[in-house]
């Protein structure tokens, strides 16, 4: 999908999020986990909120989860989204436990349901950036 013109704002990876975006480019959902106690760090932090360890590791997640919550955006807050509304924003609870904010694709907004099983898809929005979105399992 890199030949399309993507007009929406694109996140810029920093030192802390670079492994996440590099993983997305390689079709892997990467999450940060505490090396001492196993607690996930979502979003990434310097210290574990459970044991205060500074030790962590990037781990490939399953890419599967369920739709925890969602909304449909009808209001245009940024000019770049004029052609995108109405669009969904979703809170996906991964099988590993962490929740992340994303979009659901491959499904009409009207068909979105809380708890529906979803899986990660990787959207190459530019030559440099791949976004992680989710689709219903089997879509
Ligand atoms: Zn910990």
31 Cα–ligand 1 center, Å: 14
2 Cα–ligand 1 center, Å: 38
Give the tens place of pLDDT for each residue, 66-101.
Answer: 999 999 999 999 998 888 999 999 999 999 999 999
What residue has token string 């694109």?
10
DSSP character string of 6-36: --S------TTTHHHHHHHHTT--EEEEETT
139 Cα–ligand 1 center, Å: 36
30 Cα–ligand 1 center, Å: 18
82 Cα–ligand 1 center, Å: 43
Q: Which CA distances in Å does 62 have to 29, 48, 98, 120, 127? A: 7, 22, 12, 9, 25
How high is the pLDDT of residue 87? 95
How high is the pLDDT of residue 1? 46
């Amino acid at each position: 999908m890199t030949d399309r013109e993507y007009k929406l704002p694109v996140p810029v990876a920093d030192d802390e999020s670079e492994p996440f975006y590099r993983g997305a480019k390689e079709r892997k959902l990467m999450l940060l986990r505490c090396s001492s106690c196993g607690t996930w760090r979502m979003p990434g932090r310097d210290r574990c909120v459970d044991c205060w360890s500074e030790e962590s590791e990037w781990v490939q997640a399953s890419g599967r989860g369920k739709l925890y919550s969602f909304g449909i955006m009808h209001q245009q807050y940024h000019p770049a989204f004029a052609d995108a509304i109405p669009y969904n924003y979703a809170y996906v609870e991964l099988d590993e436990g962490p929740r992340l904010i994303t979009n659901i694709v491959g499904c009409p907004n009207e068909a979105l349901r809380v708890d529906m099983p979803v899986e990660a898809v990787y959207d190459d929005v530019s030559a440099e950036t791949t976004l992680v979105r989710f689709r219903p399992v089997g879509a």
